[in-house]
Structure 1
Amino acid sequence: MIGNALLQYAGLLALSNLPPIQAIPFLYTPTTTFSAAETVTPAVVSQMNVTSHGPFTGPPAMTTGALTASTILASEIPSAPPAPGSFNYTADGKLHGPEPAPFTPNGGLGTNGSAPVYRPQSDYDYQSLALALYQEWIELDLFHFGLKNFSTGQFQSNGVNADDRFLIEYMADQEVGHATLLTNMLGPQAPRQCTYNYPVSNVREFLDFNQKLTRWGESGVYGFLPHLTSRPAAQLLLQSIAVEARQQLIFRQLGGQFPMPVWHVPSIPQSWQWSLLAPYISSCPANQTRLIWQNFPSLNILNQPNPARINASNAFNETTGGFANSLSTANISSSQLCFNATNQTLNCSPAISRNRTIPLSYPGRQVFLHWDTPGKLIGPNNSYVTTTRARVPRWAAWVSQLNVTYSPLLNINLRNQTAFTFQPNVSTWDHDPAINGTMFLALTDARINVTPFNLSQINPHVAALGVYQAG
């Protein structure tokens, strides 16, 4: 193959009338290049363009609720101190064990030479990978949905040109590969494509919903990836989610937002990802693989910052509903749409980067909240039920970057299920505001000390969940 490239290069030199380069005469001597026969390319998973979209209108589901085992060992995973030996290793840069082979340090998982097996090795693996596949399927359909349902003129009027639309199409193609990977690892019972219901009515809403959907898709995988029993499966999924991270960044750019306003991307538990994803699935094929994960009630952020506004924090009741809390442009005047701003420091047209002078949110901002009661039928075929084991919510848990920061709920009205809180002023590091980007807000009945690795310990205390657009 190198020989062919050199011959092509030699042809270009001949056309340019440049003097021959005597130092590499073999360029002018045709040779035969031998290459291996073309390898067989594995087929991608069967998929189709879903033609039906909208809310579920079928008969009541025969089976409702999350998948459960016949035996549940405890009401929650108890908190415990670090595992024995966690502090035994001396981190001094020296070697403390024999090298298994040259240039190979002692330790690590899956490093003993055993052939990798790319399949689930536990119920935890299967349920986590199946959740990821549900996510890939909806992304594949959503990208196609936008390209099909909004005209070229509608995209262009929002600054999304032909090259941008091809990029969205290419990202849909990437989802085919991701879905194929997960389907092959899961086997014959892998979840299949469903039908979906999207809270979008124009291009701007489509772009914003995409950047929120890809955020919880990426963050959800980061949450369970280190816990998978199958390290080989984790490796392949990591290589897919690295692409999803780029997709989230690109949709922020298409929405005129700063592409990566955080130093660390937050991770969330599987039940958070499923709670945010399931409401946008209308129906799935018969005998579809069910999931074990909890569906939390929705948290509606009444004054969710609206990135389509010149001053995003002036928004009130400008979302398309709870959970995603994605933006609505329905009640914004033309003069207040940042897309129309002639001052480039206020404009939010698609761009590689936008440094808007008015932040979307800020420390000390009063945030008004309303949450749903549990017991709502939701998700595929309305066959899942929102649940919570939390008592009266008392705290707002802000999950962003490496932090879980609590702020007290004030003026709690249990009859109307409303309250407000104030956006905390806290940093992850110097000059790095913790509350930033597309992040997550939960209402809890207690302040539980958790970190990214054990965030799921908070689940028994979560009363409602939503996405907060901090930046």
Structure 2
Amino acid sequence: MFTKTFAALIAAAVVLGAPTPGPAPDQTNILQFALSLEHLESAFYSGALAQYDAQAFADAGFPDWVRGRYEQIMLHEQTHVATLQKALGDQAPQPCQYTFPYTDPRSFVATSFAIEGVGAAAYLGAAQFIDDKATLGVAASILTIEERQVAWMSSAVLKQQPWDGPFETPLTPTGAYSLAAQFITSCPSSNPPLPVTLLPALSISTSTPWPGSTIQLTFDNPSGADAGYLMWLSGLEAVFTSIDGNKQATVPDNLQGTVYVGVVSSEQTPVDDASMVTGLAIVQMPFDSMASDVDNE
């Protein structure tokens, strides 16, 4: 359910009103970026829970404790917003206007898994730009609770795996924003520019691909960059497969759980904005409790 819900968003163009590209990341604009994501998450949970009461969740087949935990997560996100606003003071960005694809409690749950996972990956990727140890400690504390929320959504609610492997996947601000931007319709003009580069959206023919299969890619390339590789981000590893003249690529082996994919111009690592031809899409490769989630090769 998650993959169908979120994959549909990736096919959309980058939305009107998204922030313009900002400067190279530093501690202040990384915190502004984090607050922008927390505003989005807070609006997502509060809007859905205002729309779907306990009976709606029960009618959708969820036990009472599911909505109760989401109420707690909503309060977590509101607290994160308040904490970052206090840290940034008058440099804090204001909330944007958002649109979310849920139409019932089940599609809300599916989308929450995607949004929460992107938020956690964004914190992990941005940690390197935070110099102050006290601030880094607060960001790490937010990161760990976001990861615990993702694990709960995946395992307890969606009945999938509670983790992807021995390492979490960090995302660059641009990579994370390319996913979050699909939910933003407009932002206040007074908001500071974020440390991101706006990229064309990527959609793929299936969001649950099999290893060794061929997938079809759809994307624009207005810059005419060399769109030669599809990058697969899983944990601390980046795997690259070639893209042929028909915009097709082969799915690599040994990938499990949530994997982020994007078109890049080279096999350079670590990946930077200059090598990214498109934003990211998400694929899901579930594995059961009897499978090994460690690549021993």
TM-score calculated relative to the size of structure 1: 0.54
1:64 Cα deviation from its structure 2 partner: 7.0
Q: 2:60·2:106 contact (CA, 8 Å) conserved in 1?
A: yes
Deviations 1:316-351 (A, max 9, x none): xxxxxxxxxxxxxxxxxxxxxxxxxxxxxxxxxxxx
Q: Secondary structure at the match of 2:164?
A: coil
2:290 is matched with which residue? none
Q: 1:407·1:424 contact (CA, 8 Å) conserved in 2?
A: yes
1:468 is matched with which residue? 283
After TM superposition, the structure 1 = structure 2 runs for residues 89-108 of structure 1, keeping only pairs within 5 Å, are none
CA distance in 2, matches of 1:64, 1:212: 21
1:406 is matched with which residue? 240
After TM superposition, the structure 1 = structure 2 runs for residues 291-302 of structure 1, keeping only pairs within 5 Å, are 291-302=194-205
Where does structure 2 lack aligned partners over 5 or more consecutive residues?
A: 1-11, 287-297
After TM superposition, the structure 1 = structure 2 runs for residues 408-423 of structure 1, keeping only pairs within 5 Å, are 408-410=242-244, 412-413=245-246, 419-423=247-251
Q: 2:20·2:194 contact (CA, 8 Å) conserved in 1?
A: no
Q: 1:136·1:179 contact (CA, 8 Å) conserved in 2?
A: yes
CA distance in 2, matches of 1:250, 1:372: 36
1:290 is matched with which residue? 193
2:226 is matched with which residue? 392
The 10-residue stretch of structure 1 (124-133 or 365-374) with the greater mean CA deviation from structure 2: 365-374
1:169 Cα deviation from its structure 2 partner: 0.7
RCO higher in structure (CA 8 A, sep ≥6): 2
Q: Secondary structure at the match of 1:145?
A: helix
CA distance in 2, matches of 1:395, 1:286: 36
Q: 2:213·2:251 contact (CA, 8 Å) conserved in 1?
A: yes
- Amino acid paired to 2:170: S
1:390 Cα deviation from its structure 2 partner: 6.7
- Amino acid paired to 1:296: L
1:367 is matched with which residue? 215
CA distance in 2, matches of 1:201, 1:372: 29
Q: Secondary structure at the match of 2:79?
A: helix
CA distance in 2, matches of 1:157, 1:420: 41
Q: 2:36·2:93 contact (CA, 8 Å) conserved in 1?
A: yes
1:336 is matched with which residue? none
1:160 is matched with which residue? 62
1:141 corresponds, among 43, 47, 59, to 43
Q: 1:390·1:462 contact (CA, 8 Å) conserved in 2?
A: no
1:261 Cα deviation from its structure 2 partner: 3.4
Q: 1:272·1:295 contact (CA, 8 Å) conserved in 2?
A: no
RMSD, aligned CA: 2.3
CA distance in 2, matches of 1:260, 1:390: 37
Deviations 1:230-283 (A, max 9, x none): 222111110111110011112213122222232211111111111211221122
Structure having the higher Rg: 1
1:208 Cα deviation from its structure 2 partner: 1.7
CA distance in 1, matches of 2:183, 2:251: 28
After TM superposition, the structure 1 = structure 2 runs for residues 255-404 of structure 1, keeping only pairs within 5 Å, are 255-305=158-208, 361-374=209-222, 391-404=225-238
Q: Secondary structure at the match of 2:263?
A: strand
Establish whether residue 195 from structure 1 lines up as the match of residue 97 from structure 2.
Answer: yes
Q: Secondary structure at the match of 1:187?
A: helix
- Amino acid paired to 2:21: A
Q: What percentage of residue pairs aligned between the two structures are identical? A: 21
1:252 is matched with which residue? 154
Q: Secondary structure at the match of 1:421?
A: strand
After TM superposition, the structure 1 = structure 2 runs for residues 67-146 of structure 1, keeping only pairs within 5 Å, are 67-68=22-23, 124-146=26-48
1:293 Cα deviation from its structure 2 partner: 1.0
1:440 is matched with which residue? 260
TM-score calculated relative to the size of structure 2: 0.83
Q: 1:68 to 1:128 in 2, by over 3 A?
A: closer
1:396 Cα deviation from its structure 2 partner: 0.7
- Amino acid paired to 2:284: Q
1:377 is matched with which residue? none
1:217 Cα deviation from its structure 2 partner: 0.8
Q: 1:195 to 1:64 in 2, by over 3 A?
A: closer
Question: Runs in 1 of length 4+ with deviation above 4 angstroms?
Answer: none
CA distance in 1, matches of 2:258, 2:19: 31
CA distance in 1, matches of 2:147, 2:275: 29
1:65 is matched with which residue? 20
- Amino acid paired to 2:273: N
1:19 is matched with which residue? none
